[in-house]
Chains A and B, each alone.
Chain A
Amino acid sequence: MIIDHPLLGPRDAAEFVYLGDVSLIDRPDWQAEDAMQRFHEYGYLRDNPAGLHRELWYHEQGDRSWLVVTRDTVTHEITSVELARDVARQRGRSK
């Protein structure tokens, strides 16, 4: 697989480390009433779809940026690559 890095261009997926579902960006509020339940869902439960999947990849052998890759889990085709920083800010995270 080739990941088209937004800053560096096309890079071999072997340069990256795979973390998992993009929902890992959305860490729950630890002070919420139902924090226990939500951390269980955050830490352990996954949608695991067959089809388009947004996921976190870390460019360990490159610029060490975190990317959000949109990839089809049935064909391995990658349709979009974003900086995870940008995605997190769009979701209301400050850093």
Chain B
Amino acid sequence: MRYSAFRIFREGLTGNKGWKPVWREPEPKSEYDIVIVGAGGHGLATAYYLAKEFGLTNVAVLEKGWLGSGNIGRNTTIIRSNYLLPGNEPFYEFSLKLWEGLEQDFNYNAMVSQRSILNLFHTDAQRDAFVRRGNAMILAGADAELADAAQLRRELPFLDFDNARFPIKGGLYQRRGGTVRHDAVAWGYARGADARGVDIIQNCEVTGFDIENGTCRGVQTTRGAIRAKKVAVCVAGSSSRVMEKAGMRLPIESHVLQAFVTEGLKPVLPGVITFGAGHFYVSQSDKGGLVFGGDIDGYNSYAQRGNLPVVEDVAEGGMAIMPMIGRARLLRSWGGIMDMSMDGSPFIDKTHIGGLYFNGGWCYGGFKATPASGFCYAHLLARDTPHPTATQMRLDRFMTGNMIDEKGQGNQPNLH
């Protein structure tokens, strides 16, 4: 069923009786060409692009819980491509271009809103670093625009420009950045994949891999064994737990990241704003709530909830750039589990086990990457060669010395 304004009109006149469930609930078959483990945003996007771009539809997506129950519905919904390094920036720009055409592509309203992202800077040295980053973005085909304090005073008069400790000297805009209704991304990809014949199987936990002579032939699940020519793991947050079943140790620690939303307010924030001296980012949802977050808690966790010191740190970051946020009442806070990799960058790669593929290590940047992650993973699965924008996201890059360390922090996951 194609969605359109006409369809809404017609259904409105006929008692809304024509709407159908958006995807099927099939029983797992005994064998598929490709089994994707994890029906989060990335897994569903992978299935969608496998079917749509590469013509592979004998595919199953297995999900331990319910569809989209992980970080696709927990993130702060920001999309952007303001990275620096050659291993990352073309990939994220590819992702942003996919976001721009996504709703027409999968015929689903994901409320993609390119309302801009602004990274504030507070010192001359930071300005220089942002100029460099902006140039790197432009070289990769993205957009970047440097704004001085006078311009920002006109556009965002509520910021605390004369803060004694962190005065705002300007910012780097990416006007094409913005926000997306995150859960709709899962529904849209699931619907598009299902319509092309992909089986999305919920409440089906993978309990083991069938590895014979160094080749993965399928998976054991709570709903029986499923054979597959290729098994594609896509379970960021739980990557170590799943890959351990295949005997692998990963360059990943799992950490908890908290997010917050206030009560609904009248429109006050035109786009996404980030603090340059601490870790704080904020946008306003279409319902009016201020959606914001900051640092990860910093210790290994699978708890999906964090602790108070980070709540305080995030609140301090907010107060430092826009004191008016202190008048808003906090409505909800929650946590999600991140694959924090050793260099802060992700993996889309084969493993040393034949037929077993791995996608993970997204740190807290997985949401914006969803379309390109799915596309590049599908490319790797279909053609066995990496997509041109994802050639450096290798699992063995720490052994070969080809880290993609945007912040230059070294192998300390809680500092990325």
What residues make up the interface of A, taking CB atoms closer than 8 Å to B?
A: 1, 12-14, 18-21, 40-41, 43-50, 53, 55, 71, 73-76
Contact = CB atoms under 8 A, between A and B. Distances in A.
A41 B301 CA distance: 21
Given A40-B398, A44-B342, A50-B241, A73 B301 contact: yes
Given A13-B307, A18-B414, A48 B252 contact: yes
B307 A20 contact: no
17 contacts: A20-B253, A20-B300, A20-B413, A21-B300, A43-B411, A44-B251, A45-B250, A48-B253, A48-B254, A48-B300, A71-B299, A73-B301, A73-B302, A73-B303, A75-B303, A76-B301, A76-B303
A20 B412 contact: yes
A94 to B, nearest CB: 26
Interface of B: 238, 240-241, 244, 249-254, 298-303, 307, 309, 342, 398-399, 411-414
A46 B253 contact: yes
B147 to A, nearest CB: 35
A14 B303 contact: no
B411 A44 contact: yes
A74 B300 CA distance: 9
Nearest to A17: B298
B303 to A, nearest CB: 6
B300 A53 contact: yes
Given A13-B307, A44-B342, A45-B251, 6 more contacts: A18-B414, A44-B399, A46-B250, A46-B251, A46-B252, A50-B238
Nearest to B300: A73
Contacts, number: 68
A contact patch SS = mixed
A49 B307 CA distance: 20
B249 A74 contact: no
A93 B300 CA distance: 26
B298 A73 contact: no
Contacts of B249: 41, 45-47
A55 B300 contact: yes
Pick the 8 closest A-B CB pairs, nearest first: A48-B240, A14-B309, A44-B398, A45-B249, A44-B251, A50-B302, A18-B299, A73-B300
Residue among B253, B307, B411, B414 with the highest chain A CB neighbour number at 10 A:
B253
A47 B240 contact: yes
Contact of A48 (B250, B298, B399): B250
Contacts of B398: 40, 43-44
A73 B254 contact: yes
Contact of B307 (A1, A43, A47): A1
Nearest to B339: A48
Residue among A21, A73, A74 with the highest chain B CB neighbour number at 10 A:
A73
A22 to B, nearest CB: 11
Contacts of B240: 46-49
Residue among B240, B252, B299, B412 with the highest chain A CB neighbour number at 10 A:
B299
